[in-house]
């Protein structure tokens, strides 16, 4: 899944879209409330594109994890992130059987589920191949396919 321009900011709930770069800060927009704010470099905002999940072999990018969740849930929302920790671990193990159980905490699993469900609710899940097709000038109707995450604005 494509996660370009989507960010998580420590200490602030929800996900944000990158809007512009300032001299000492960035301007972001909250995905759900659409409110814009300034985030200073000391806040250590992370692009979802740079986040990956520890596995026994190699780290798996968050976009690929979202793809696997989407496949397992047949395009629907994921399990509730407030579920029992053992249930969350078991569910995540079905999606990523080789995830590193010592390095991936329940809090990480909860964040991943919460982010996925937020993007699903806002219809920001678009198949990675489809997004590439639209950029290549092909049919834009296929870009509404709910399979991968994109932070780009369709307008």
Q: At 154, is the pLDDT very low, low, confident or very high (cuts 50, 70, 90)?
A: very low
Q: What are the pLDDT digits (tens) for 22-79?
A: 888 999 999 999 999 999 988 888 999 999 999 999 999 999 999 999 999 988 899 9
Specify the pLDDT at position 43: 87
Nearest to 16 by CA among 48, 43, 41: 48
Q: What are the pLDDT digits (tens) for 79-137?
A: 999 999 999 999 999 999 999 999 999 999 999 999 999 999 998 887 555 444 444 44
Specify the pLDDT at position 141: 37
Please state the rounded mean pLDDT for residues 1-13: 85
Domain covering 6-47 in this structure, CATH number = 2.30.30
Specify the pLDDT at position 145: 38
Kindly list the domain boundaries of the chain, sorted by start residue. 6-47
Percent residues over pLDDT 70 in the chain: 79
Beta strand 60-61 with 46-47 is unpaired
- Determine contact, residues 5/152, Cβ cutoff 8 Å: yes
* pLDDT at residue 12 is higher than 80: yes
If you write DSSP's letter for every residue of 58-102 in order, what string do you get? S-EEHHHHHHHHHHHTTTS----TTS-HHHHHHHHHHH-TTB-TT
């Amino acid at each position: 899944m494509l996660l370009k321009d989507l960010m998580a900011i420590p200490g602030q709930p929800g996900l944000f879209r990158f809007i512009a770069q300032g001299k000492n800060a960035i301007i972001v927009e909250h995905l759900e409330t659409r409110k814009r704010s300034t985030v200073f470099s000391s806040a250590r905002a992370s692009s979802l594109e740079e986040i990956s999940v520890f596995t026994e072999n190699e780290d798996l990018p968050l976009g690929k994890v979202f793809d696997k969740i989407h496949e397992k849930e047949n395009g629907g929302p994921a399990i509730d992130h407030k579920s029992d920790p053992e249930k969350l671990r078991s569910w995540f193990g079905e999606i990523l059987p080789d995830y590193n159980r010592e390095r991936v905490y329940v809090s990480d699993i909860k964040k991943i589920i919460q982010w996925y469900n937020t993007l699903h609710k806002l219809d920001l899940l678009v198949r990675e191949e489809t997004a590439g097709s639209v950029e290549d000038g092909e049919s834009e109707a296929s870009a509404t396919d709910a399979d991968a995450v994109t932070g780009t604005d369709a307008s």
